[in-house]
Structure 1
Amino acid sequence: MGLKKNRFYIFPAVLLILFCILSCKKQQPAEDARIEPPVRTYIVTARIDQKGTNSTSEGTGVLKGFYDEQSKIFLYSIEYKNINASLITLRSGVKGTAGELIKEIYKNGGTVELKQPIGGSLKLTPLQERNLLKGLWFVAIGTGSTAPEISGSVTLKQQ
């Protein structure tokens, strides 16, 4: 009789323990649990004027573009007015410094009228991407007499 009472308590207890063990959520391996960050695209703009260049130029310009983190492609177009550009460059560095040349967009003696807008694309290196996302890029437009005559910082807005 004592053996039947023990079975009556032991059997449900074993089933309950087994059920608890099997129903516990299993931990996933660390590599499966990683979540990829979302890929971002950015709208890129720059207002280009004489501020920060120590010139009295009436010239102004605008850079508009897009940047995609996945493809690392930077697409841009530049329009300007009231200036006869001989050199247009994208540079990396703090505004007010010469900065490091990223790309020479246009170079001419300033004698030929340039068809606008000027557009292009650029595949970025990891360092260039980091500096762009930190806001360290600027556009510089120079003439035969002054380099740069006008410039503007590149800003990004997440799309």
Structure 2
Amino acid sequence: MQEHPLEPDELAHRLAEVFDLVGPLYRRVLRKVEQAAPAEGLSVGVRAVLNLLGEHGPMTVPQMGRAQALSRQFVQRMVNEAAADRLVEAVPNPAHRRSSLIRLTDDGRAAIAAVTTRERALMRQAGGGLTDAEVTACVKVLGEMLALFDDVDVDGRLD
């Protein structure tokens, strides 16, 4: 059977099905992370900052906000919280004197490694006999949906 791209109306219907699953999934994962927060000592927001820095290296607060579709103010509060716990530190930014780069400390790297190890252990329990092709397709679909809303600025402006 040869697959063909969906017509726009059918595509819209099918992507709406994905949206209907993403919201509850996000909220359940958020609750699970919050339940484990006392054990890890990380809030959901700090965890997001640490994960982003672990994946991409040092970034500015505005860069982190754009990457996660979060307001700069929220990201700054999370960075401040992480810095108070010595999980991140500000370092000079050669590209911009007034906007420091934020990077993980050794404690920050250890904290995010512990969290991701625990989360991956939980994800290994996923059933359904998922194949690599199915997960690849899911990532592609979600990436396309995310790109659809790239022009939305969480600080209230359209880019």
Q: TM-score band, normalised by the shorter chain?
A: under 0.3
User: What TM-score does the superposition give when structure 1 sets the normalisation length?
Assistant: 0.21
Question: Which protein has the bigger helix share?
Answer: 2
Question: Which protein has the bigger strand share?
Answer: 1
Q: Flag the structure with more relative contact order, 1 or 2, with Cα contacts below 8 A and sequence separation at least 6.
A: 1
